[in-house]
Amino acid sequence: MSASASPAASPQGWRSRLAVKAAFRFESLLVLAALVAVMAALSPVFLSVSNFLNIVLSTSVIGVLAIGMTFVISSAGIDLSVGSLIGLSAVVGALATANFDLPWPTCILACLAAGAFAGWVNGFLITKGGIPPFIATLGMLGVARGVALVLSDGVSIYGLPPEVVYLGQGRPFGVPTPVFVLLGVAVVAHVLLVHTRFGVYAQVIGDNEAAARAMGVRVERHKTLLYALCGLLAGLAGLLFAARINSGEPTAGLSYELTAITATVIGGTNMNGGHGTVVGTVIGALIMGVLQNGLNLLAVRPFYQQIAIGAVLVLVVWFDRINSREGWRR
Amino acid sequence: MSLLELKDVRKSFGAIEALRGATFSVDAGAVVGLVGDNGAGKSTLMKTITGVYRPDGGEIRFDGASLAGKDPGDIRKAGIEMIYQDLALARMRDVASNIFLGRELTRSVLGLRLIDAKRMRSEAEAMIAKLGARVKSVTQLAGQLSGGQQQSVAIARALTFNPKLVIMDEPTAALAVREVEHVLELIRTLSAQGIAVILISHRLTDVFAVCDRIVVLRQGAVIADDPTKGTSMNAVVAHIVGATDLPHQAAAR
């Protein structure tokens, strides 16, 4: 069986093995390091502690969002609605406390529930309705944003309970609270994705859905759960966003789906499903954070950030196509 | 009582009647060949048994209990394993996780049920060794294995959990001559251990070599069900192509 030894020895085999088996994509760390070096060289304040905290703070919302996306993309799905779900959950959470004067835990629960419910609807439409994920979640992108605007009458709802604001603005041990939230979510999500049936089945569904079904995985139920989880994390991201600015903005999270998908794919999650990595996604989110922060420090107009992020997404997927033999076969 | 009993099983996809009342049974330890032309309904029938499809009518009983309303996971638990023609492997996962796919071994950590990858690896290694399969390491990804090796993994997966019935869909179609003999030998071994086998194959020589009975499916119905000893290659071919549909014409010749 000398034939079985040769693919592992050939450089392409080695590379595809790395891409699939590694916990994350090594290149993403290099990109992060290079980006940090460039920004540090260009801006004197970039390497300061306060700026570092700024970066991790802005990374936390994207990170939480991208971790949910990692589960969905691993299963060969996509969720375009997460940006709108930030707006929806922020508004719903703010309404619960500002308008109805409910106790502060209600605000948190309302954010999470709004996101999870919208995500569940995505999953329902995809599995029961047979609507492609791209279309179902694109529809939700419009509907959720619209509902957020209707509920809020198009204006920001100010005044969240102080306990909730602490989630966004607090600094225990000098570190912004959202960073702790991101770390907690990342640890739980990593264990879930790598070490439990829930996460492994998400990847198997993305790898070979028919095989998953034949081997007894309840594919439809599982997919619905994955979209609900993605929605739940979008709701959490919405909560962090609202808490940070102390208001429920109906336009919060506009085009964040682009950033979340880019962070996920940079991290090494396979765009075609079958393999995902939470560690990689967090690195991807950091790259997004550094990119945005650096461009801000360099006084580049925010409009250019969109161009940069969009270009990075397309380049990374292109890079993958060229590198993987799978890409050539498809 | 037979191990597996199918009575008048029906299944349609839109206007297409894939199964129009299939009836046959399989005894414990028996090797039954299921043959038929492309589109005769063999794969549909098998996927209906394994729960991938829900039958529109009829009854399937296994080991005395009805399989109605059970999903593929329940049916595997009941003791039916199928080796699919496309092998149904997750290409980006390693051999061990493919063997345990759908039945991962877990250990409890702080109340969480985590996958026990270490134990899965060692048990997968034992299974591969027992089968004499030439897979170098159970940590290789399924997508990096040769066709024969992938087949070994699919077989190992089917046999790891002590099935009572193993369904093999064209297990020899993609194999080299030597590997075919290996699979046929395996079928004989299973039968000797009391495990029933349904062999779906286009290669009638294989079917005649190992099967006790041969069931011919044509246009979604069983049109012949004979002991191998009581039939011939010519008769089976005639049933497959439908040359026996009009018996008076055949008699006139």
CATH of the domain at A262: 1.10.3470
- Predicted pLDDT of residue A99: 74
CATH 3.40.50.300 fits B1-79+163-253, yes or no: yes
Residue A11 domain-assigned (yes or no)? no
The pLDDT-based confidence of B39 (bands split at 50, 70, 90) is: confident
Interface contact A196-B144, CB threshold 8 A:
no
Minimum-distance CB partner of A3 among B74, B93, B146? B146
Chain A with chain B: Cβ pairs closer than 8 A: 93
Mean pLDDT of B21-47: 92
Residue A14 with chain B: CB contacts under 8 Å: none
- Predicted pLDDT of residue B89: 95
Interface contact B136-A5, CB threshold 8 A:
yes
pLDDT over 70, % of chain B? 96
Alpha carbon separation from B246 to B1, B37, B253 (Å, rounded): 33, 18, 12
Mean pLDDT of B51-60: 93
Q: What is the CA radius of gyration of chain A?
A: 20
- Predicted pLDDT of residue B243: 78
Mean pLDDT of B186-210: 93
- Predicted pLDDT of residue B252: 43
| Residue A210 sits at the chain B interface (C-beta within 8 Å) | yes
Minimum-distance CB partner of B114 among A195, A203, A216? A195
Residue B8, Cβ density class (10 Å: 0-12 exposed, 13-18 middle, ≥19 buried): middle
Structure tokens that stand for B176 in this block: 């080299």
- pLDDT of B53 over the 70 cut: yes
| Tens-place pLDDT, residues A53-107 | 999 998 999 999 999 999 999 999 999 999 999 999 999 999 988 777 788 889 9
- Predicted pLDDT of residue B247: 52
Interface contact A215-B86, CB threshold 8 A:
no
ipTM for the complex shown:
0.88
- Predicted pLDDT of residue A325: 54
Interface contact A274-B141, CB threshold 8 A:
no
- pLDDT of B26 over the 70 cut: yes
- Predicted pLDDT of residue A12: 45
Instruction: Compute the mean pLDDT over every residue in chain B, rounded to the nearest whole number.
Output: 89
Interface contact B103-A214, CB threshold 8 A:
no
- Positions in chain A whose pLDDT score sits under 70: 1-23, 324-330
pTM for the full model? 0.89
Mutate to test the interface with A, among B43, B44, B93, B97 (most CBs of A within 10 A): B93
Q: Which domain holds residue A217?
A: 43-317
- Predicted pLDDT of residue A14: 47
Residue A77 domain-assigned (yes or no)? yes
Residue A34 domain-assigned (yes or no)? no
User: Which chain A residue's Cα is nearest to B91?
Assistant: A207
- Predicted pLDDT of residue B244: 66
Residue A35 domain-assigned (yes or no)? no
Q: How far is B230 from chain A (nearest CA, A)?
A: 35
Q: How far is B69 from chain A (nearest CA, A)?
A: 14
Minimum-distance CB partner of A207 among B77, B91, B146? B91
- Predicted pLDDT of residue A23: 61
- Predicted pLDDT of residue A324: 67
| Tens-place pLDDT, residues B205-224 | 999 999 999 999 999 999 98
Minimum-distance CB partner of A4 among B52, B115, B136? B136
Choose among B146, B99, B102: nearest CA to B125: B99
CB contact at 8 A, A1 and A257: no
Mutate to test the interface with A, among B100, B101, B108 (most CBs of A within 10 A): B101
| Residue A214 sits at the chain B interface (C-beta within 8 Å) | yes
User: Which chain A residue's Cα is nearest to B134?
Assistant: A1
In total, chain B counts a number of residues equal to: 253
User: Max CA-CA distance within chain A?
Assistant: 72
- Predicted pLDDT of residue A261: 96
| Residue A167 sits at the chain B interface (C-beta within 8 Å) | no
The secondary structure of chain A, three-state, reads CHHHHHHHHCHHHHHHHHHHHCCCCHHHHHHHHHHHHHHHHHCCCCCCHHHHHHHHHHHHHHHHHHHHHHHHHHCCCCCCCHHHHHHHHHHHHHHHHHCCCCCHHHHHHHHHHHHHHHHHHHHHHHHCCCCCHHHHHHHHHHHHHHHHHHHHCCCCEECCCHHHHHHHHCCHHHCCHHHHHHHHHHHHHHHHHHHCHHHHHHHHHHHCHHHHHHCCCCHHHHHHHHHHHHHHHHHHHHHHHHHHHCEECCCCCCCHHHHHHHHHHHHCCCCCCCCCCHHHHHHHHHHHHHHHHHHHHCCCCHHHHHHHHHHHHHHHHHHHHHHCHHHHHC
Task: Give the C-alpha separation, A58 to B201, whole Å.
Answer: 60
| Residue A188 sits at the chain B interface (C-beta within 8 Å) | no
Task: Give the C-alpha separation, B190 to A127, whole Å.
Answer: 39
- What total of structural domains would you count in chain A? 1
Domain residue spans of chain B: 1-79+163-253, 89-161
| Tens-place pLDDT, residues B136-184 | 899 999 999 988 889 889 999 999 889 999 999 998 887 888 888 888 9
Interface contact B101-A211, CB threshold 8 A:
yes
Minimum-distance CB partner of B72 among A195, A216, A270? A216
Choose among B169, B209, B232: nearest CA to B41: B169
